[in-house]
């Protein structure tokens, strides 16, 4: 596509392509009154007026495995391949707040992400990567505040101040109780930790996205598109309520909320889903929470292509699936995108597969005409009807959650989990019966086993991490670490009202300040999480609804 001096693009045939189409550009087109313009309430057509016509979405690649040093090597490869944002995967012990040498961590160190035990690991992870020039997303939830503070401490060592840092922590604990299971603390203190993180970032790291409220993991567990956005937005309401109750201004913290959704191969419904989600959230923030700042009304989101739809059979077919899913995300107006590698159903992505995943996005951005006009499906009879249908169904589902007392109360009754399990069971039955075609699995199969050489994590990583921890504990001032952990316990013991009183500053109401100082003195991830467990306890799930 060519772009003239006026900013107007032309097609391969030399015909003009309007940056925005609507009633003025297409005679007889009469969109619904609530459709709006791009960048304007209710943001159905996108959160920015120009969307990709001014610049494409951020191209992220989710990566992290084995040691910090190995993951750092992969990050440099991705940056060289053209990735414009990093997305960190952490191993299960880190996600659960355990050190690599803890008994419970045995066999899982470095397996599904990188092992991070201390600020020294975080320093290795970002060695040679200027943190004032890269946007970093960290997929971490229960200990999100811990990993964010480790990141900030490494930035301090680089001479990068907090206001210069940009990125996102997932920090969405509620969906862990619903679909994923990497929770640590019970819901109420977890929400307190989320609110304290909002307040801390507002004061110390103002450009950081303090939460990425995720529907992705619920979708991977089996949620339908309607359930995905309904349960995600219901969770988001709980976070906003908790933040408001702690004394924060919705117009100040609202712009730092972000979301995370899946993109499936069912392209039309996915586009409708993204548009409906923006519309619902804008209305919630304006009408229910009184947000007047347009940036606080926007639903900005990251998308990842659907890992659950990848197949180990004929893995090269996943290249096609990922391209279609990425197209759905772009047509739906995502702000950033991760494309899965075609071999992820087998093992961690190989370097070649990860590079191809980046190239998929680059083809969409630079070889198609997707970036020449905003919301190209606007006014489509099918898309507009499907958007309204998805919206109505999601609002109905959210009303049911409100009847149960809100997202936390519904979680405690097992409602969302049971609904997702029912939906997943229906899909499984359809696949087994052949009513839902999965190419290469229940139709269009080939005979014989395919040979594939996957990337494997060296089991010696666990021993190496344990040795690093032993050396860290030998070198640090153990008495100083103990004092700082006691400070953290005292801050955690504050009641909700006492915490709110100090939420906006460095007072003892906000646990992130003593948490940061403990980490600065080389306390480990497991040690600070155990200190909070001592006060808040550990979550034990209720029986199913």
Supply the CATH number for residue 307's domain. Answer: 3.20.20.240
Residue 467: what pLDDT?
97
pLDDT tens track for 370-380: 999 999 999 99
Which helix (H) or strand (E) is 147 found in, with range?
A: helix 144-158
Residue 495: what pLDDT?
62
Q: What are phi and psi of 172, to 5 degrees?
A: -100, 90
Share of residues in the chain with pLDDT > 70 (%): 91
Residue that the structure tokens 């630079």 belong to: 366
pLDDT tens track for 458-495: 788 999 999 999 999 999 999 999 999 999 999 999 86
Average pLDDT of the residues of the chain = 91
Cα–Cα distance for residue pair 130/160, rounded to 1 Å: 9
DSSP string of 315-330, one letter each residue: GGGHHHHHHHHHHHHH
In this predicted structure, the answer to whether residue 2 has a pLDDT above a threshold of 70 is: no
- Cα torsion 410, 415, 420, 426 to 10°: value is -160
339 in a domain, yes or no?
A: yes
Structural domains counted in the chain:
1
In this predicted structure, the answer to whether residue 6 has a pLDDT above a threshold of 70 is: no
Q: Burial-class residue 302 by CB neighbours within 10 Å (0-12, 13-18, 19+).
A: buried
Q: What is the mean pLDDT of residues 330-339?
A: 96
pLDDT tens track for 448-460: 756 666 667 778 8
In this predicted structure, the answer to whether residue 500 has a pLDDT above a threshold of 70 is: no
111 in a domain, yes or no?
A: yes
Confidence grade of residue 54 (pLDDT, cut at 50, 70, 90): very high
Sign for the pseudo-dihedral over CA of 64, 69, 70, 74 = positive
Cα–Cα distance for residue pair 515/204, rounded to 1 Å: 14
Confidence grade of residue 159 (pLDDT, cut at 50, 70, 90): very high
Give the three-class secondary structure for 62.
Answer: strand
Cα–Cα distance for residue pair 213/258, rounded to 1 Å: 6
Which of 63 and 286 is assigned the larger pLDDT?
286
Residue 545: what pLDDT?
43
Q: What is the mean pLDDT of residues 66-86?
A: 86
Q: Both tokens of residue 496? A: 């909700």
Which residues neighbour 295 within 8 Å (Cβ) at sequence distance 6 or greater? 254, 255
The CA distances from residue 354 to 63, 114, 128, 349, 386, in Å, are: 9, 16, 21, 6, 33
Q: What is the mean pLDDT of residues 75-103?
A: 91
Strands 85-89 and 208-209: unpaired
In this predicted structure, the answer to whether residue 496 has a pLDDT above a threshold of 70 is: no
Cα–Cα distance for residue pair 492/511, rounded to 1 Å: 6
215 in a domain, yes or no?
A: yes
Give the three-class secondary structure for 370.
Answer: coil
Which residues neighbour 113 within 8 Å (Cβ) at sequence distance 6 or greater? 64, 65, 88, 89, 90, 91, 92, 94, 95, 139
On whether the CB atoms of residues 454 and 350 are closer than 8 A, the answer is yes
Residue 498: what pLDDT?
53
Residue 34: what pLDDT?
59
Q: What is the mean pLDDT of residues 78-84?
A: 82
CB atoms within 10 A of CB 105: 22
Report the DSSP beta bridge partners of residue 261: 303
Q: Both tokens of residue 264? A: 């499936």
29 in a domain, yes or no?
A: no
Residue 83: what pLDDT?
78
On whether the CB atoms of residues 519 and 119 are closer than 8 A, the answer is yes
Cα–Cα distance for residue pair 264/287, rounded to 1 Å: 31
On whether the CB atoms of residues 232 and 215 are closer than 8 A, the answer is yes
In this predicted structure, the answer to whether residue 23 has a pLDDT above a threshold of 70 is: no
CA-based nearest residue to 145, from 175, 179, 172: 172
pLDDT tens track for 39-51: 999 999 999 999 9
CA-based nearest residue to 153, from 125, 172, 134, 133: 125
Residue that the structure tokens 């009202």 belong to: 497
In this predicted structure, the answer to whether residue 174 has a pLDDT above a threshold of 50 is: yes
479 in a domain, yes or no?
A: no
On whether the CB atoms of residues 110 and 89 are closer than 8 A, the answer is no
Cα–Cα distance for residue pair 190/188, rounded to 1 Å: 5
Confidence grade of residue 1 (pLDDT, cut at 50, 70, 90): low
Share of residues in the chain with pLDDT > 90 (%): 80
Q: What is the mean pLDDT of residues 145-168?
A: 97
503 in a domain, yes or no?
A: no
Which residues neighbour 508 within 8 Å (Cβ) at sequence distance 6 or greater? 490, 491, 494, 502, 514
Residue 116: what pLDDT?
97
pLDDT tens track for 286-318: 999 999 999 999 999 999 999 999 999 999 999
- Cα torsion 360, 363, 365, 371 to 10°: value is -130
In this predicted structure, the answer to whether residue 505 has a pLDDT above a threshold of 70 is: no
Residue 489: what pLDDT?
97
pLDDT tens track for 223-249: 999 999 999 999 999 999 999 999 999
In this predicted structure, the answer to whether residue 499 has a pLDDT above a threshold of 60 is: no
Residue 506: what pLDDT?
47
Residue 350: what pLDDT?
86
Structural domain span for residue 369 = 53-433
Cα–Cα distance for residue pair 355/341, rounded to 1 Å: 8
406 in a domain, yes or no?
A: yes
Cα 485 to chain center, whole Å?
Answer: 29
Give the three-class secondary structure for 239.
Answer: helix
pLDDT tens track for 131-154: 999 899 999 999 999 999 999 999
47 in a domain, yes or no?
A: no
CA-based nearest residue to 32, from 20, 40, 19, 23: 23
Residue 532: what pLDDT?
98
pLDDT tens track for 335-370: 999 999 999 998 878 889 989 999 999 999 999 999
Q: What is the mean pLDDT of residues 40-64?
A: 91
In this predicted structure, the answer to whether residue 253 has a pLDDT above a threshold of 90 is: yes
């Amino acid at each position: 596509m060519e772009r003239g001096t006026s900013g107007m693009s032309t097609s391969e045939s030399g015909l003009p392509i309007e940056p925005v189409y609507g009633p003025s550009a297409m005679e007889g087109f009469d969109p619904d009154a609530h459709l709006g313009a791009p960048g304007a309430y209710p943001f159905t057509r996108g959160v920015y007026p120009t969307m990709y016509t001014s610049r494409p979405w951020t191209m992220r690649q989710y990566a992290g495995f084995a040691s910090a040093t190995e993951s750092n090597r992969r990050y440099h490869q991705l940056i060289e391949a053209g990735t414009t944002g990093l997305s960190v995967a952490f191993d299960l012990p880190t996600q659960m707040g355990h050190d690599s040498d803890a008994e419970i961590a045995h066999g899982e160190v470095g397996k599904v992400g990188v092992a991070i035990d201390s600020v020294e690991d975080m320093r290795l992870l970002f060695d040679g990567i200027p943190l004032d020039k890269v946007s970093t997303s960290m997929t971490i939830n229960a200990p999100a505040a811990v990993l964010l503070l480790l990141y900030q401490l490494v930035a301090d060592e680089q001479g990068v101040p907090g206001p210069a840092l940009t990125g996102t922590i997932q920090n969405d604990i509620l969906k862990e109780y619903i679909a994923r299971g990497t929770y640590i603390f019970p819901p109420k203190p977890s929400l307190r930790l989320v609110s304290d993180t909002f307040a801390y970032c507002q004061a110390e790291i103002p450009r950081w996205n303090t939460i990425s409220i995720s529907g992705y993991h619920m979708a991977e567990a089996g949620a339908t598109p309607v359930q995905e956005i309904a349960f995600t937005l219901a969770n988001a309401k709980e976070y906003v309520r908790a933040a408001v109750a702690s004394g924060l201004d919705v117009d100040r913290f609202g712009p730092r909320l972000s979301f995370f959704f899946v993109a499936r191969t069912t392209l039309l419904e996915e586009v409708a889903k993204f548009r409906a989600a923006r519309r619902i959230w804008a209305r919630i923030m304006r009408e229910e929470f009184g947000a007047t700042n347009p940036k606080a009304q926007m639903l900005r989101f990251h998308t990842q292509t659907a890992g659950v739809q990848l197949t180990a059979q004929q893995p090269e077919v996943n290249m096609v699936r990922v391209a279609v899913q990425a197209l759905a995300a772009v047509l739906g107006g995502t702000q950033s995108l991760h494309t899965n590698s075609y071999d992820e159903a087998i093992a961690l992505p190989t370097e070649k597969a990860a590079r191809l995943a980046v190239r998929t996005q680059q083809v969409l951005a630079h070889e198609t005409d997707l970036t020449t006009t905003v919301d190209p499906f606007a006014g489509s009879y099918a898309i507009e009807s499907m958007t309204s249908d998805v919206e109505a169904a999601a609002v109905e589902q959210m009303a049911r959650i409100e009847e149960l007392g809100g997202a936390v109360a519904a979680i405690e009754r097992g409602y969302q989990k049971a609904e997702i399990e029912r939906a997943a069971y229906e899909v499984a039955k359809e696949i087994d019966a052949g009513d839902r075609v999965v190419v290469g699995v229940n139709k269009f199969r080939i005979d014989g086993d395919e040979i594939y050489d996957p990337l494997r994590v060296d089991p010696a990583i666990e021993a190496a991490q344990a040795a690093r921890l032993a050396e860290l504990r030998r070198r640090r001032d153990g008495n100083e670490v103990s004092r700082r952990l006691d400070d953290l316990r005292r801050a955690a013991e504050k009641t909700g009202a006492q915490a709110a009183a100090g939420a906006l500053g460095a007072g003892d109401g906000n646990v992130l300040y003593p948490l940061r100082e403990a980490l600065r003195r080389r306390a480990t991830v497991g040690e600070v999480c155990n200190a909070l467990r001592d006060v808040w306890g550990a979550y034990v799930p209720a029986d199913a609804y």
